């Protein structure tokens, strides 16, 4: 039964002034508490960690040497055109990128060969060498240096060796050597090898009979391996990963990186779990002019715990088809519903309910957009019954048009969607949902107004219905709305600008009986500030909410005088219902509230290092708090990071999340996170660790505990990462706390 708006005016008067004052004080208190907590913070600067060692940059070309002149300087020279010549005292030879300095040398014009029996220094675009003595031919660009210290140009890589031979083809061979990227005479880590060969043109080195020493202790031996010497990608083994969890035991992985081509690569990693067995993991990536994609997979042929084959693969492909048209294909599948509980590396992974695979083609123009897609879902949560599994959409075709009619503000919006819903259980069928809206809008410096009138038509063709049920139901509803707002501003004494922005949104949608329509993809929106100005409180196309309501909102914000950035914002809004909300889902009772919960949102970014937000929803009818949230984050100039969030939604969520990563000194850092649920009275996730970092190496140890299933079982894990800067990392580090 419909009601005249005047019938609800007495109900509106139930909003008592005391309640409004209480709620306003709460909003202001949140803002003041946020500001006060920011002002109370003190920051002690921490000295920056020294720059990381680095590999040299890839050089596209080398200097031309053959056509360059050979120039020699010396204090004394005994020269001959045919016989061997001698030079003494600050001898220097320069050709193109090559430079050689010593106190005495012998020079033979034949082959442009120099013999240097005394200490010398040689450098070119690839290497620098300090040697006890050497012989070098500028003609053949070959030479032998003995008793050397060396380094790679443009990088921190250095070491010593018995001999070093420079060979044609931009190669050099060292024997009985050590190699490191650490500064100082006593490096924290180094590679010692019988022989090492640098392929400067190709950007890699090879070592034979090599061992890796850390703090003088051998930690790895390899009869042969390759490694990069500049920033180009290089095929080869990466350093092992290492972790330990209570349910999988120790995990060790040895990844191999395959640089297939300039536009594609792959990483293949054999992994061993002491409690489950062997697993093969990998990632393949490619990129072309018009497309790109990745394939990730994990495969375990026989899980020692379950006796089953276990796997997960994810393929993602993106393509630019032509003009404004693009496509995307995603395939995400897993062997069983317990896979992520056993192998998931985070709370986000272990809490997944389903995997979605989809193929999409999209196009757009100045005033239109088109999308055609198919998707499928693999349910991996046993708490989801077959009747509640998501429908496959085979296909979904959507078209949207927003066409203005000249410069006078008139326009037409057309939304249309044709979807075929398929599932193994329950009603299936096709739905055609079309909505057309005529609007007029006026935007000015003082505000805007936008009235709109339209009609939404939804039609079905159903299968698997009960006997006697309509197989082709339909629904049609007119929709009328008026949206308008004003804009006031003033300049404050400090030059900042403050605004006052009231907004009204009236919506009228007559009631239409919809209980006989299926529910393919429809749910109720989570009520928030954006919902004040939406013409439907339901997602999907199976329900169109009836409405006779007025939303009132007020926003005030301040902009900085210097750069125009927003310093803070406060928004308050509420909907006044003039009729009951009769359209519901799942046989929910009719809602006869006269007002919606009042929504308040606050955002603060006044301080350079702090940001904060706060929100709440207060239900006048029930005199209770429905939703509350508060967050504050700090980013220091020396890497200090901290954040706190509290989230509350009645009967659903009541939890806080606090995390920090803080340097104690230039080399030491601690990190931690606690995510606690008051609703379950349990820790959802906790993480604690420390990190030590020097100019040469870093080590991080992280302990993590998080829920892995609905039965309340936890996964405890210890993750170790050793980073030898300029070489590689050993182990598996913890996740970024702030991503």
Residues 252-270: what's their mean pLDDT?
92
pLDDT at position 299 over 90: yes
Give the contacts of 54 (CB within 8 A, at least 6 positions apart).
155, 156, 181, 726
Whole-angstrom distance, CA of residue 128 vs CA of residue 145? 11
Whole-angstrom distance, CA of residue 716 vs CA of residue 245? 5
Q: What is the pLDDT of residue 680?
A: 84
Residues 147-176: what's their mean pLDDT?
92
Quick: pLDDT tens for 430-469.
Answer: 999 999 999 999 999 999 999 999 999 999 999 999 888 9
Q: What is the pLDDT of residue 44?
A: 35
Cα angle, residue 381 at apex, residues 377 and 382 outer, rounded to 5°: 120
C-beta of residue 389 within 8 angstroms of C-beta of residue 378: no
Please report, for the chain, the start and end positions of each structural domain, with discontinuous segments joined by +: 1-19+426-635, 71-124, 231-421, 645-739
* 361-364, Cβ contacts within 8 angstroms, sequence gap of 24 or more: 361/321, 361/325, 361/326, 361/327, 362/325, 362/326, 362/327, 362/328, 363/323, 363/324, 363/325, 363/326, 364/324
Q: What is the b/e burial string over 389-405, where b = at least 16 CB atoms within 10 angstroms of the residue's CB?
A: bbbbbebbbbbbbeeee
**342: burial class by Cβ within 10 Å (0-12, 13-18, 19+)?**
buried
Region label for 426, one of left (φ > 0), alpha (ψ between -120 and 50) or beta (otherwise):
left
C-beta of residue 529 within 8 angstroms of C-beta of residue 571: yes
Q: What is the pLDDT of residue 54?
A: 59
Is 567 in a helix, a strand, or coil?
strand
Length of the chain: 739
Quick: pLDDT tens for 657-673.
Answer: 999 999 999 899 999 99
pLDDT at position 250 over 90: yes
As a whole number of Å, the end-to-end CA separation of the chain is 51
**644: burial class by Cβ within 10 Å (0-12, 13-18, 19+)?**
middle
Q: What is the pLDDT of residue 706?
A: 87
Secondary structure (H, E, C), 615-677: EEEEECCCCEEEEEEEEEEEECCCCCEEEEEEEEECCCEEEEEEEEEEECCCCEEEEEEEEEE
pLDDT band at 737 (very low <50, low <70, confident <90, very high): low
pTM of the model: 0.80
Higher pLDDT, 462 or 710: 462
Residues 6-29: what's their mean pLDDT?
34
Lowest mean pLDDT among 56-70, 158-172, 524-538, 549-563: 56-70
Q: What is the pLDDT of residue 239?
A: 75
Residues 78-98: what's their mean pLDDT?
86
Residues 108-122: what's their mean pLDDT?
91
Q: How far is CA 103 from CA 47, 69, 71, 127, 147, in A?
A: 43, 22, 16, 21, 17
The residues with which 404 forms a beta bridge, in sequence order, are 411
pLDDT band at 46 (very low <50, low <70, confident <90, very high): very low
Q: What is the pLDDT of residue 729?
A: 62
pLDDT band at 3 (very low <50, low <70, confident <90, very high): very low
Which two tokens mark 329?
């294909």
Whole-angstrom distance, CA of residue 545 vs CA of residue 505? 16
Higher pLDDT, 504 or 729: 504
Q: What is the pLDDT of residue 155?
A: 84
Please name the helix (run of DSSP H) or strand (run of DSSP E) that holds residue 18, with its range, or none: helix 17-40
CB atoms closer than 10 angstroms to residue 103: 15
Q: Residue 150's closest CA among 117, 119, 174, 114?
A: 174
Higher pLDDT, 201 or 462: 462
Q: What is the pLDDT of residue 19?
A: 35
pLDDT band at 48 (very low <50, low <70, confident <90, very high): very low
Which DSSP string do the residues of 65-125 spell out, in sequence order? -TTSPPEEE-SEEE--SSS-EEEEEEEEEEETTEEEEEEEEEEETTTTEEEE-S-EEEE-S
Which two tokens mark 702?
């992280």
Secondary structure (H, E, C), 168-227: CCCEEEEEEEEEECCCCCCCCEEEEEEEEEEECCCCEEEEEEEEEEECCEEEEEEEEEEE
Q: Residue 389's closest CA among 348, 420, 349, 426?
A: 426
Higher pLDDT, 24 or 386: 386
Q: What is the pLDDT of residue 731?
A: 60
Residues 692-707: what's their mean pLDDT?
88
% of the chain with per-residue pLDDT over 90: 65
pLDDT at position 524 over 50: yes
For all residues of the chain together, what is the average pLDDT? 87
pLDDT at position 354 over 60: yes
Q: How far is CA 556 from CA 27, 316, 472, 571, in A?
A: 13, 43, 49, 7
Q: Residue 352's closest CA among 336, 329, 370?
A: 336
Q: What is the pLDDT of residue 8?
A: 35
Quick: pLDDT tens for 327-344.
Answer: 999 999 999 999 999 998
**492: burial class by Cβ within 10 Å (0-12, 13-18, 19+)?**
exposed
Give the contacts of 731 (CB within 8 A, at least 6 positions apart).
240, 241, 242, 243, 719, 720, 721, 722
Pairing of strands 641-649, 624-635: antiparallel
% of the chain with per-residue pLDDT over 70: 89
Higher pLDDT, 504 or 180: 504
Residues 591-612: what's their mean pLDDT?
91
pLDDT at position 366 over 70: yes
pLDDT at position 15 over 70: no
Q: What is the pLDDT of residue 18?
A: 36
pLDDT at position 14 over 50: no
């Amino acid at each position: 039964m419909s009601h005249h708006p005047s019938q609800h005016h007495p109900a509106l008067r139930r909003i008592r002034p005391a309640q409004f004052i209480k709620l306003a004080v709460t909003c202001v208190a949140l803002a003041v508490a946020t500001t006060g907590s920011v002002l109370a913070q003190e920051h002690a600067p921490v000295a920056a960690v020294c720059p990381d060692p680095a590999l040299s940059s890839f050089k596209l070309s080398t200097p031309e040497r053959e056509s360059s002149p050979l120039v020699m300087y010396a204090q004394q020279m005994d020269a001959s055109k045919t016989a061997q010549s001698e030079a003494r005292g600050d001898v220097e030879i320069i050709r193109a990128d090559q430079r050689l300095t010593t106190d005495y040398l012998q020079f033979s014009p034949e082959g442009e060969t120099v013999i240097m029996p005394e200490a010398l220094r040689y450098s070119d675009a690839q290497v620098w060498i300090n040697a006890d003595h050497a012989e070098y031919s500028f003609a053949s660009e070959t030479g032998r240096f003995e008793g050397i210290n060396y380094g790679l140009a443009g990088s921190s890589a250095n070491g010593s060796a018995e001999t070093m031979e420079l060979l044609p083809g931009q190669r050099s061979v060292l024997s009985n050597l050590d190699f490191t990227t650490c500064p100082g005479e006593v490096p924290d880590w180094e590679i010692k090898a019988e022989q090492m060969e640098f392929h400067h043109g190709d950007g890699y080195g090879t070592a034979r009979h090599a061992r890796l020493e850390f703090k003088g202790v051998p930690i790895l031996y390899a009869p042969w391996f390759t490694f990069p010497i500049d920033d180009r990608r290089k095929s080869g083994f990466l350093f092992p990963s290492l972790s330990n969890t209570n349910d999988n035991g120790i995990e060790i992985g040895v990844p191999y990186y395959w640089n297939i081509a300039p536009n594609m690569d792959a990483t293949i990693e054999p992994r061993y779990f002491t409690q489950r067995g062997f697993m093969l993991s990998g990632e393949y990536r490619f990129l072309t002019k018009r497309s790109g994609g990745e394939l990730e997979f994990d495969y375990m042929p026989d899980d020692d715990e379950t006796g089953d084959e276990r796997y997960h693969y994810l393929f993602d492909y993106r393509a630019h088809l032509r003009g404004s048209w693009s496509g995307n294909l995603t395939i995400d599948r897993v062997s069983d519903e317990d896979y992520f509980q056993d192998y998931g590396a985070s709370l986000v992974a272990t809490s997944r309910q389903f995997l979605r695979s989809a193929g999409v083609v999209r196009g757009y123009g100045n005033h239109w957009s088109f999308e055609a897609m198919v998707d499928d879902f693999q349910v991996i949560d046993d708490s989801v019954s077959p009747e509640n599994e998501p429908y496959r959409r085979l296909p979904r075709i959507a078209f949207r048009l927003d066409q203005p009619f000249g410069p006078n503000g008139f326009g037409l919006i057309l939304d249309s969607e044709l979807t075929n819903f398929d599932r193994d259980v329950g009603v299936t069928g096709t739905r055609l949902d079309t909505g057309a809206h005529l609007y007029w809008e006026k935007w000015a410096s003082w505000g805007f107004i936008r009235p709109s009138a339209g009609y939404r038509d939804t039609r079905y063709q159903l299968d698997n219905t009960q006997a006697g049920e309509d197989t082709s139901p339909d629904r049609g509803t007119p929709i009328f709305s008026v949206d308008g707002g004003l804009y006031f501003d003033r300049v404050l004494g400090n030059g900042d600008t403050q605004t006052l922005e009231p907004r009204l949104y009236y919506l009228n949608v007559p009631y239409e009986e919809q209980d006989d329509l299926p529910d393919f993809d429809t749910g109720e929106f989570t009520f928030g500030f954006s919902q004040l100005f939406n013409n439907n409180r339901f997602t999907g196309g199976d329900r169109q909410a009836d409405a006779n309501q007025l939303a009132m909102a007020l926003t005030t914000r301040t902009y900085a005088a210097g750069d125009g950035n927003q310093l803070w914002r406060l928004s308050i809004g509420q909907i006044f219902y003039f009729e009951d909300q009769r359209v519901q889902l799942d046989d929910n009772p009719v809602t006869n509230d006269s007002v919606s919960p009042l929504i308040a949102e606050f955002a603060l970014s006044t301080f350079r290092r702090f940001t904060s937000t706060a929100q709440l929803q207060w239900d006048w009818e029930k005199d209770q708090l429905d939703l509350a949230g508060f967050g504050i984050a700090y980013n220091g100039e020396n890497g200090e990071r901290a954040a706190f969030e509290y989230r509350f939604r009645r009967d659903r969520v009541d939890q806080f999340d606090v995390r920090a990563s803080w340097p104690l000194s230039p080399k030491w850092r601690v990190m931690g996170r606690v995510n606690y649920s008051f609703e379950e009275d349990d820790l959802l996730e906790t993480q604690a660790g420390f990190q030590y970092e020097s100019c040469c190496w870093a080590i991080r140890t992280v302990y993590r505990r998080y829920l892995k299933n609905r039965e309340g079982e936890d996964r405890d894990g210890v993750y170790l990462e050793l980073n030898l800067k300029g070489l590689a990392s050993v182990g598996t580090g913890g996740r970024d706390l702030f991503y």
